[in-house]
Amino acid sequence: MKHANHTSTGADGAGLLGEVEGTLQGHRDGHGFLIPDDGSADIYLSSQETHAVMHGDRLRVRVTRFDKRGRPEGKVLEILARRKRPIIGRLLLESGAWLVAPEDRRMGQDILIPKNGIANATAGQVVAVELTEPPSLYSRPVGRVVEVLGEIDDPGMEIEIAVRKYDVPHRFSPDTLAQSAKLPEKLRAADLKGRIDLRDVPLATIDGEDARDFDDAVYCEPFKQGRGKKAFEGWRLLVAIADVSHYVKPGEPLDADAYERATSVYFPRRVIPMLPEKLSNGLCSLNPYEDRLSMVCDMLVSTAGEVSAYQFYPAVISSHARFTYNEVAAILANTHGPEAAKRRELVPQLLHLHEVYRALLAERQRRGAIDFETTETQIVCDDNGRIEKIVPRTRNDAHRLIEEAMLAANVCAADFIQHGKHPSLYRVHEGPTPEKRQTLQAYLRSLGIPLGISDDPAPREFQQLAEATKDRPDAQQIHTMLLRSMQQAIYTGTNSGHFGLAYPAYTHFTSPIRRYPDLLVHRVIKALLAGRKYTLDPAKMNVPQAPKRPGRAAPPNPAEARNEAERWEVVGAHCSANERRADEASRDVEAWLKCRYMRDRLGEEFAGTVSAVTSFGLFVQLDALYVEGLVHITELGGEYFKFDEARQELRGERTGIRYATGARVQVQVGRVDLDGRRIDFRLVREADELRALARGAAPKSAGKPAGKGAGRAPARKRAPQTDAQMAAQTAVEALEDVRQADRDLKQSRKAAVAALHPVKAARKAANKAAKKSAAKPATRKRR
């Protein structure tokens, strides 16, 4: 970062008095940050500068100063473009004036609504507002209600809010619906032209219990070929993927809507699909006993788990069964059980699938790919859309079996495209940045973990760390730190490999029903099979520029994409941005549901684990409910806590008490902010032995509750404690002990002063007695 006296413009951003264009990202506290178009450092804008602008506006800003840490601060010079999309919020009536409080707190200002602009809405309802007058230095923004969503407690309202809050397209265009309606209900003879007929092959789908669309079907059989040194022994693995590209053609309305969405968005009890239901749940879903068009990746996998040969071809299939993960896991665990008896004819192929999975898994381990076992949760809702319970989602061999089969097909697709020298989208996952690597190394050293990572780490190093720490009580937190150190996977036209999976080239081929990049990969593969070239539609460049992500270069400007390679980069950035948008919308809905769930548990106490430590407090995940909340630093006691980034801990300067990731704590639900999606906890007591007391802190006798008891003896010198005694003392007791020591010290000082100056002490006591007997308590002077 450039120092304040620099005036030139560099990679880190504009120098002093330099001008920058970008998009405003507001903050709930009133200030904001300009996210520059060129990918340089964000520029801080004070609340005074953001009074006349709103989150999402495009601005030109001049850098006016740099703070002590070299971060730029700016002044708004010009508003280039106003945010055009409607704003979602609650309609309120305050002192006779109508206004809307935006759901997105980054907007920073309430919106005034004239009486004739509330439509048919009533106070308290959730509405969509269109601005008629933007904010200025002296006035609030003014708008009118354009849509009434309903009451805040209506079932599914949190999803209606999220799709609008994050600009998720949720209505198909009339042209798309018309085109979808014209599609045939079943396959026609012309659809089968040029396809391999695999309807007699017992392919089967394996998905979750609540799945409604089925992208993929699998089949496996033992395979031997040749003799001597050229002999091959292993399996033939078929992965059949729904052929969406047969129905969704470039330039048509279906394709335009699919590209705009780029992905399906999954919420509890609801899905915003990328394709209309007639395709996603009908023609393109590999439903059992239905003839379906597919693209097949036909592979030979050796006993060593290596894919020695593969081919792609269009086919027609008929799924012979719809399995669930739990059903397959039960069959594999007991081939003579009731589940196996129902599917007796398909049990052999499930066993072959399990065999090839174990071979592929062994090859993954030899390759050094990262495989963290993290706990995922599933929200179970009642009929009203409210959380009934949150349960851990356990991964069994059936999940892993399908995962390895899909990985193998995706790698083959990337290899096929690379050898064909055709531009396409790759799924790229890069290793840690130098900054993140240094943070991780410091964290591992602070925990005393002997293993580290090199300056140019390989995936194997991360996997070795995961293996070495998997039995530690803080393994979950260590693995989380390992994951956070790596960059986010993206779609891009430039292949840079996949760090986490340890693949030199990787793409997405297996889910064209719900991911647009997979649909593009299908089109590229079909073009290569036909000896043609697939060229992107120039209309796909008519998209907003994707936001700049931390640690990455600025995304390409769609308007400046002049050649095919640049167009693929634009499409990749668009798909990556919409993937993140879908994730953010899903997390927002889950956070709302969890807040609503915890609002009924105010005051209750739960055991939990510190999942993250920040400079402003501790994030704690509850053991029983799998809900995360914040223990603000002000709730940790009356002392100053210092954040140690290397150790990922907060440490009290006076008591030495430490709070680190993995610590066991007992908390009380103190506050739930439904609008802010925030749950606040109060620390009740620590629940494990991770303690460190301050020097000279006077611990209490064992078994005596903190802060209770009739009288206290004056402070006295105490015998040194053993480590075991110190470990047994709770954080609350330690803090109370220090407070009591301070009180005792003050009392002893007062007694000493009284002994040295009896006359002054007598006058002081008389004045105090006179004040206590005063008739009006409100006139008492505060000491």
- Give per-residue pLDDT as tens, 450-476: 887 888 888 988 888 888 888 887 787
pLDDT at 712 over 50: no
The 3-state DSSP class for residue 580 equals helix
pLDDT at 638: 79
CA distance 67 to 44: 10
Let me know: does 33 contact 42? Beta carbons within 8 Å.
yes
The residue-averaged pLDDT of 88-95 equals 92
The pLDDT confidence band at residue 534, using thresholds 50, 70 and 90, is very high
**Which run of H or of E encompasses 749?**
helix 731-756
| Res 387: pLDDT | 87
Residue 373 has pLDDT above 80, yes or no: no
Those residues whose C-beta lies under 8 Å from the C-beta of residue 269, and which sit 6 or more positions away, are 156, 381, 385
CA distance 427 to 414: 9
Pick the range with the lowest mean pLDDT from 440-449, 584-593, 703-712: 703-712
pLDDT beyond 50 at 384: yes
Q: Please report, in angstroms and rounded to a whole number, the separation of the first and last CA atoms in the chain.
A: 49
* Rg over CA atoms, the chain: 32
3-state secondary structure 529-565: HCCCCCCCCHHHHCCCCCCCCCCCCCCCCHHHCCCHH
pLDDT of residue 391: 86
pLDDT at 783 over 90: no
As a whole number, the mean pLDDT across the chain is: 85
**Helix boundaries (H) for 368-396:** none
Q: Of 67, 518, 580, which is closest to residue 248 (Cα–Cα)?
A: 518
The mean per-residue pLDDT over the stretch 632-646 comes to 87
Q: What is the mean pLDDT of residues 190-197?
A: 95
pLDDT over threshold 50, residue 2: no
Which residues make Cβ contacts (< 8 Å) with residue 513, sequence separation at least 6? 213, 215, 242, 244, 264, 273, 274, 275, 279, 280, 284, 285
Residue ranges of the alpha helices (H) in 150-252?
A: 157-165, 174-182
pLDDT digit string, tens, across residues 475-501: 877 888 888 888 889 999 999 999 999
For 492-519, what is the mean pLDDT? 96
pLDDT of residue 6: 39
pLDDT band at 773 (very low <50, low <70, confident <90, very high): low
pLDDT at 231: 86
Give the separation between CA 408 and CA 405, rounded to whole angstroms.
Answer: 5
Residues 404, 395 contacting (CB under 8 angstroms): no
pLDDT of 554 higher than 80: no
Mean pLDDT, rounded, for 206-227? 91
Q: Is the dihedral of CA 90, 95, 98, 99 positive or negative?
A: negative
Kindly tell me if the per-residue pLDDT of 225 is higher than 80: yes
Q: How far apart are CA 372 and CA 480, in angstroms?
A: 9
Q: Which residues contact 138 (CB under 8 A, 6 or more apart)?
A: none
pLDDT at 692 over 90: no
Which pLDDT tens digit goes with each residue over 598-631?
999 999 999 999 988 999 999 999 998 999 999 9
Report the C-alpha gap between 671 and 337 in whole angstroms. Answer: 50
Q: Which residues pair with 664 in a beta bridge?
A: 609
Q: Return the higher-pLDDT residue of 712 and 447.
A: 447
- Strand bridging mode 196-197 / 307-318: parallel
Region of 152 (left: φ > 0; alpha: ψ -120 to 50; beta: rest) is alpha
Whole-number percent of the chain with pLDDT over 90:
56
Q: Which of 150, 119, 103 is nearest to 111 (CA)?
A: 103
Q: Extract the tokens encoding 494.
A: 């430039």
d(CA 631, CA 680): 6
775: burial class by Cβ within 10 Å (0-12, 13-18, 19+)?
Answer: exposed
Report how far Cα 501 is from the mean position of its chain's Cα atoms.
Answer: 20
What is the pairing mode between strands 19-26 and 32-36? antiparallel
**Would you say residue 747 has pLDDT above 70?**
no
Residue 215 CA to residue 212 CA, distance in Å, equals 10
pLDDT given for residue 340 in this prediction: 93
Lowest-confidence segment of 276-280, 310-314, 584-588, 723-727 by average pLDDT: 723-727
CA angle in degrees (0–180, nearest 5) for 628-630-634: 165
What is the side-by-side strand order in the sheet with 641-644? 641-644, 649-652, 658-660
**Rounded distance between C-alpha atoms, residue 555 and residue 547, angstroms:** 7
Q: Does residue 17 carry a pLDDT above 90?
A: no
Amino acid 754: pLDDT: 56
For the ranges 208-212, 217-221, 406-410, the lowest mean pLDDT is seen at: 208-212
CA–centroid distance for 534 within its chain: 34
595 has pLDDT over 90 = yes
Query: Picking from 251-265, 340-354, 388-402, 435-449, which range would have the lowest pLDDT averaged per residue?
Result: 435-449
Burial state string for 688-704 with b = 16 or more CB within 10 A and e = fewer than 16: eebbbbbeebbbbeeee
| Other CB atoms within 10 Å distance of the CB of residue 278 | 17
> Angle at CA 91, nearest 5°, toward 86 and 94?
135
pLDDT of residue 582: 96
Q: Tell which wins on pLDDT, 556 or 368.
A: 368
Q: Pick the residue with more confidence: 783 or 577?
A: 577
The pLDDT confidence band at residue 9, using thresholds 50, 70 and 90, is very low
User: What is the rounded distance in angstroms from the CA atom of residue 231 to the CA atom of residue 441?
Assistant: 47
What integer is the mean pLDDT of 82-107? Answer: 90
Is residue 397 over pLDDT 50?
Answer: yes
pTM given for the model: 0.82
Task: Give the residue from 598, 590, 653 showing the smallest Cα distance to 267.
Answer: 590
Q: What is the dihedral of CA 254, 257, 262, 264, to 10 degrees?
A: -80
Confidence of residue 324 (pLDDT cuts 50, 70, 90): very high
Within a 10 A sphere around the Cβ of 312, how many other Cβ atoms? Answer: 20
What gap in Å lies between CA 62 and CA 722, rounded to an integer? 60
590 CB-side CA count, 13 A: 19
Burial class (CB in 10 A: 0-12, 13-18, 19+), 68: exposed
Whole-number Å distance between alpha carbons of 701 and 200: 78
Per-residue pLDDT band at 776 (split at 50, 70, 90): very low
Least confident of 111-125, 257-271, 532-546: 532-546
Question: Please, which residues have CB within 8 angstroms of residue 315's CB and are 6 or more apart in sequence?
Answer: 195, 196, 197, 198, 240, 293, 294, 295, 296
pLDDT of 368 strictly over 50: yes
In Å, how far are 24, 144, 577, 752 from 87, measured between CA atoms? 16, 10, 20, 66
The pLDDT tens digits of the residues spanning 146-171 come to: 999 999 888 889 999 999 989 999 99
Cα separation, 64 vs 75, in Å, equals 7
Backbone angles phi, psi at 186, to 5 degrees: -135, 170
β-partners of residue 484 are: none
Give 529's pLDDT tier (boundaries 50, 70, 90).
Answer: very high
Report percent pLDDT > 70 for the chain.
84
Count of C-beta atoms within a 10 Å radius of residue 384? 10
pLDDT at 525: 98
Give yes or no for a contact between 561 and 541, defined as CB atoms under 8 angstroms apart.
Answer: yes
